[in-house]
Each structure stands twice: as C-alpha cells, then as structure tokens.
Amino acid sequence: DAGVIQSPRHEVTEMGQEVTLRCKPISGHNSLFWYRQTMMRGLELLIYFNNNVPIDDSGMPEDRFSAKMPNASFSTLKIQPSEPRDSAVYFCASSLKGGNQPQHFGDGTRLSIL
C-alpha cells in the first residue's frame, strides 16, 4: 500500500531559480495538503485541495508560491523566484474528504536555497 509520494527528496538550488515540488497522494484520497516546516515557524499549512480544487490558499506566503492539482493523483508546488528564506522541509499530505479524516504525510522535500 503506497503512501504519499513526494519528489524530489532533496533540492539545492541558487536563489532566483524556479523550484517545483511534486506530490502523489494516496489512491482514493481526495483532499491534499501542502505544509512547510521550519524550526522557527513549525508546521504551517500553505494550501489544500478538495477534489483537485484549491479550497484555501491563505497560508501561501506570497505570490512567488503557486500550487496546482491537475488531476486526482498529482499536485505541484512551485516557487518562482526562490529566495534563501524559502529553505525548509515541504510536506504533502492527503486524506479522505470531509472533516475528522486522518492526514497521511509524505516523506517531504528538504529544500535549500543558496
């Protein structure tokens, strides 16, 4: 039973470059969440989707961040242009739709912007 799959696991790039993080949710799950984790700010929700539709992007820090979910089995989080302060671990999670459903996390992408 495959869990949430994220790629890449690690990304190191120079500031100003475009970064694309990818996520494949658990099959059958129709809610998908993007989180960012840093020591200073903890685990922050950036955006979430229900049935491929963005429901709440209030956590997206600024216009440099964008997320898409073109189909039920794939989502991307893009940062353009990237900045050193974007360095963090980015997690994707998925769940069944509706309240009170467990969220299952992927292994995360460790992003370093030099």
Q: Cα(8)–Cα(111) distance, rounded to whole angstroms?
A: 9
From 14-22, 47-55, 64-72, 75-83, give the range in contact with another protein by CB under 8 A.
47-55
Cβ atoms within 10 Å, residue 15: 13
Cβ 99 to another protein, closest distance in Å? Answer: 3
108 binds another protein (CB under 8 A): yes
Among 1, 2, 28, 42, binds another protein (CB under 8 A): 42
Q: Cα(101)–Cα(99) distance, rounded to whole angstroms?
A: 6
Rule CB under 8 A: which residues touch another protein? 31, 33, 42-43, 45, 48, 50, 55-56, 91, 95, 97-108
